[in-house]
Chains A and B, each alone.
Chain A
Amino acid sequence: SQKIEQNSEALNIQEGKTATLTCNYTNYSPAYLQWYRQDPGRGPVFLLLIRENEKEKRKERLKVTFDTTLKQSLFHITASQPADSATYLCALALSTGGFKTIFGAGTRLFVKA
């Protein structure tokens, strides 16, 4: 069956450390992978997009990797801050029907001061 899996358990880290979140998928062949941030009571907000032929993408303190062999993406936040506390969702953009976009359930990140 097709699945997108993200750590269901919350990730707790200390301020200043690097947070690493994982997204694994099964029986999909996404052309692109996206990461979103969601705060409580709000809609998701886009952070980054990475193509299947890109290994790594960076934006300020964020870094995303995409390994199509392992069917995995890693999302890193360096020098984490309490304001980074949120739920992070990965999304697969499938190359069908105008890039159908499907989401994992998300991982909750708590950064302690």
Chain B
Amino acid sequence: DAGVIQSPRHEVTEMGQEVTLRCKPISGHDYLFWYRQTMMRGLELLIYFNNNVPIDDSGMPEDRFSAKMPNASFSTLKIQPSEPRDSAVYFCASRSGPGPGELFFGEGSRLTVL
């Protein structure tokens, strides 16, 4: 299996631009998580989905952030407008089943907002 696939791996953009990060979970996994990692704040949970439905978005920092999962094999995290403080590595992870099992992470999308 290909694992969790994220794109782009690196994104550099200007403040105020829209950013869209993409994630393809492992086939058959029904939970999908979005995290953000910075040196200052560590790995923060932003939002997670079960069967394409958002379960908890309490970690989404502001209305500028939105996430969707239109089908079982694709999710997006959008930032509009982007700000320099959004610079971070964004990780997507997927999991099979409702239990507390292993999260499978993608390689991350490194976002730099100038």
Contact = CB atoms under 8 A, between A and B. Distances in A.
Contacts of A91: 103
A34 interface: yes
A42 B102 contact: no
B100 A105 contact: no
A79 B86 CA distance: 40
A46 B55 contact: no
Size range of the chain B interface in the assembly: 20 to 34
Contact of B91 (A32, A43, A46, A97): A43
Interface stretch (B13-21, B73-81, B104-112): B104-112
Contacts of B44: 103
B59 to A, nearest CB: 9
Contacts of B41: 105
Contacts of A43: 4, 91, 93, 105-108
A102 interface: yes
B45 A44 contact: no
Given A43-B91, A44-B43, A105-B43, A99 B100 contact: yes
B81 to A, nearest CB: 27
B98 interface: yes
Dominant secondary structure at the B interface: strand
Contacts of B107: 41-43
Contact of B100 (A36, A41, A101): A101
Given A43-B105, A46-B103, A103-B35, A98 B98 contact: yes
A89 interface: yes
Interface string B82-114: 000000000101000011111111111000000
Nearest to A43: B105
Given A42-B107, A46-B102, A98 B50 contact: yes
A86 interface: no
Interface string B20-55: 000000000001010100000111110010100001
Nearest to B48: A100
A98 B107 CA distance: 24
Nearest to B91: A43
CB-based closest 5 A-B pairs:
A105-B42, A43-B105, A93-B100, A32-B100, A46-B102
